[in-house]
A = this chain, B = another copy of it.
Amino acid sequence: MSLENFFNPKSVAIVGASQHKGKVGYEILSNMIDAGYEGTLLPINPKSEPIEGLQCYPDLKSTGQRPDLVIIIVPARIVPAIMQQCADVGAKSVIIITAGFKEVGKEGRELEQQIIQIARQAGIRIIGPNCLGLIVPANKLNASFGGNLPAVGAIGYLSQSGALLTAILDMANATEIGFSKLVSIGNKADVDELDIMEALACDEDTKVIAGYLESIGNGNQFVSKAEQISHDKPILLIKAGATEAGAKAASSHTGSLAGAEAAYESAFERAGIIRCSSIRQQFDYAQAFANQPLPAGPGVAVITNAGGPGIMAADSIEQQGLTFAKLSEKTIEKLASSLPAAANLYNPIDVLGDALADRYELALDAALDDPNVDTVLVLLTPQAMTEPVATAEAMVRVIRKNPTKPVLACFLGADKVEEGVRILRAGGIPQIDASERAVATIKVVADYVRWRSRPKRVVRLFPVNRRKVENIVERHLRQAIREIGETESKEILEAYGFATPKGSIATTAEQAAGIADQLGFPVVLKIWSPDILHKSDVDGVQIGLKSIKEVKDAFDLMMYRIPKKLPDANILGVLVQEMCRGGKEVILGMQRDPHFGPLMMFGMGGTMVEVLKDVSFYLAPLTADEAKQMLMSTKTYQMLKGVRGQEGVDIDAIAEGLQRLSQLVTEFDQIQELDINPYVVGPEGTVPIAVDARISVEQV
């Protein structure tokens, strides 16, 4: 969808324009005029004389025009009538600045419904209500009351908080950071975050998309669209309002470990969205993406005129897991022939405290020429001899000559480096005034490059018995049973290609002994009751029973003790099961997130999972690569590979289990939570066993 009428309107009507300074209706009009808007400007106010020399119309109709964009500032209760006028004159797009809609409760929500209805019928698009407006510096369009028109640049910004946008504008103007578009999205009654992001994705003037969001509308759509956009343009988002409320009701291990944050993290990771924790961080990253080429690899060279900041940068590079570039011999020779003897020729290149601009120039030139260097970070402290201005000029000269690798600057100080910083920024070199933030920026850019070059996502589809699962799920839903018992949970898993341990239910000790004898010792006994979810909590699991006597004793003890602990539990018997020996226990799980759908979990299994929290999450459906990544991002992975002489397990078999589970929960929306715990995995070539499973379903 094009938002061209918003971004580049030939005519703009301002309904509620005012001649009274301080009123929003005045501020917006005067911002439009001050910005030098070149189209037709139509102030509308029934009571007003000409404002700022412009003729004022009593209503939209009397302008005799069909404005591309109408800005509405009148009180909320009048807005529906104005919207109708917009429809009548054939206006194309509307920004509703006015507050007092959905955000104030029921009455406002109804008003908002009315205006949406009018807009839909008339084919009008709306930004807002309850927003700050819209700014397009290149088109001299400041349809906002947020502040002065900022510089033209390549950052497209959308914000769900108008107030934050005023602060951002003020900060950007002070540091001359430029924007392609700034949009305050307000209540998102019609145009939402995704519309703006898609418009910015197609916008030639935008190289990077940044934003502040408190909520996301349609999670699935957001993820898939954002993923497409991220391939072309990096997306930098601040997501505020993290809440743990969603996690509290969960009954599964996965549910209690996941929470809303895990879903957002996974969604952002899938979509390649770079999450920012503050405006400053976002500016750091946005500057780098907007002005510099992407690096070919992770190798960083540092140039400095002071040891201390050089060490701090080196520390950060190590902590961030970036590579400290090993300079080539040619580079070192080049540096040796032109720098003083005391200079450090290795990385960080220390041009010494008395370095003038020339040393920086040749060091930067040499570093950019080095095939081992992918990014250069230039540090400068304003010492007695230092030339911040000439150094900045030299740096800009060098990158113009050699514009293929990203260069970042970290000029430390304030007044002494101010002029130099201005030259850097004008020349497109991001200046970040703390080395650890500069290094964090290099890391984020390198991660983005890696994300972009990841293989195409191909989700493997396994042949499964879908019909069988449908039957079980539907029967439970018909009977309004949310929790699927262990036997049928395992049938579901078997239908999707999982192996489960053999076993049957016994209701007497004799029967238990008979089943055990048939399975072969040792066996496991598990209490069998729809009312007992976590069996080991009530000593309802006995493992390693090696004889008929042990089985009988364990059976009788369970039947005697557990009813005393849980007098209301309906105990159906005891499951006698073959024992899976020798493998390692992991957990596979899924928790359906209300926004983003099935969130897969992998972690160390057994009862320790909630204590050690060594788990990883990812949104379904999983590719083989993503399943493998889930394993590798836990510490448990080291153990699974084998440590200290212990044999490793079949990693690919676990990854396949995750993919099969991902297919199951993708095909069955009704499955809300699922744990396979433990999932016992043996050495390469063996088949893992889903020893215990819990599945809960819900009507959707």
Contacts and interface: CB of A to CB of B under 8 A. Distances in A.
Nearest to A309: B164
Interface in A160-209: 160-164, 166-167, 170-171, 173-175
Q: Which 5 A-B pairs have the closest CB atoms?
A: A161-B308, A163-B306, A174-B414, A167-B412, A170-B413
B612 A170 contact: no
A643 interface: yes
Contact of A417 (B170, B240, B279, B612): B170
A426 interface: no
Contacts of A47: none
27 contacts: A24-B384, A145-B384, A147-B382, A147-B416, A160-B308, A162-B353, A162-B383, A164-B306, A166-B382, A166-B383, A167-B309, A170-B382, A170-B412, A171-B413, A173-B415, A212-B308, A214-B308, A240-B308, A242-B315, A278-B435, A536-B644, A536-B645, A539-B645, A607-B643, A608-B639, A612-B612, A612-B635
A539 B645 CA distance: 7
B607 A635 contact: no
Nearest to A537: B645
A433 B435 CA distance: 18
Interface in A586-624: 607-608, 610-614
A611 B643 contact: yes
Contact of A434 (B279, B417, B610): B279
B277 A167 contact: no
Given A539-B645, A613-B635, 9 more contacts: A104-B342, A166-B416, A240-B312, A536-B645, A538-B645, A610-B643, A611-B636, A611-B643, A612-B614
A280 interface: yes
A638 interface: yes
A551 B163 CA distance: 76
A315 B240 contact: yes
Give the interface centre of A240, A278, A311, A437 by most chain B CB atoms within 10 Å: A240
Nearest to A410: B167
Number of copies: 2
A583 interface: no
Contact of A164 (B171, B308, B611): B308
A534 B241 contact: no
A242 B436 contact: no
A318 interface: yes
A158 to B, nearest CB: 13
A629 to B, nearest CB: 18
A166 B381 contact: yes
A219 interface: no
A687 interface: no
Nearest to A28: B384
A645 B542 CA distance: 13
A614 B29 CA distance: 61
Interface string A535-551: 01111000000000000
A433 B283 CA distance: 14
A455 interface: no
A414 B173 contact: yes
Contacts of A309: 161, 163-164, 167
A385 interface: yes
Interface string A404-434: 0000000011111100000000000000011
A27 interface: yes
A66 to B, nearest CB: 30
Nearest to A414: B174
A311 B173 contact: no
Give the interface size class of chain A. Answer: 35 or more
A22 interface: yes
Contacts of A279: 412, 434
A311 B382 contact: no
A536 B643 CA distance: 10
A417 B166 CA distance: 11
B644 A607 contact: yes
Interface string A135-169: 00000000001010000000000011111101100
Contacts of A415: 170, 173-174
A278 B436 CA distance: 7
A145 B384 CA distance: 7
Nearest to A167: B412
A167 B162 CA distance: 35
Given A278-B434, A306-B161, A635-B613, A607 B417 contact: no
A646 interface: yes
Give the interface centre of A147, A240, A308, A385 by most chain B CB atoms within 10 Å: A308
A161 B607 contact: no
A435 B167 CA distance: 12
Nearest to A305: B163
Nearest to A565: B645
A435 B278 CA distance: 8
A22 B412 contact: no
A238 interface: yes
Interface string A102-128: 001000000000000000000000000
Contacts of A24: 384
Nearest to A436: B278
Give the interface centre of A163, A174, A278, A607 by most chain B CB atoms within 10 Å: A163
A309 B159 CA distance: 12
Contacts of A635: 611-613
A417 B163 CA distance: 14
B161 A238 contact: no
Contacts of A312: 238, 240, 278
Contacts of A164: 306, 308-309, 381, 412
A307 interface: yes
A350 B177 CA distance: 29
Given A164-B308, A307-B163, A381-B166, A412 B353 contact: no
Nearest to A646: B607
A175 B414 CA distance: 9
Contacts of A644: 534, 536-537, 607
Contacts of A160: 308
A554 B104 CA distance: 76
Interface in A628-651: 635-636, 638-639, 643-646
Given A277-B436, A534-B644, A538-B645, A413 B306 contact: no
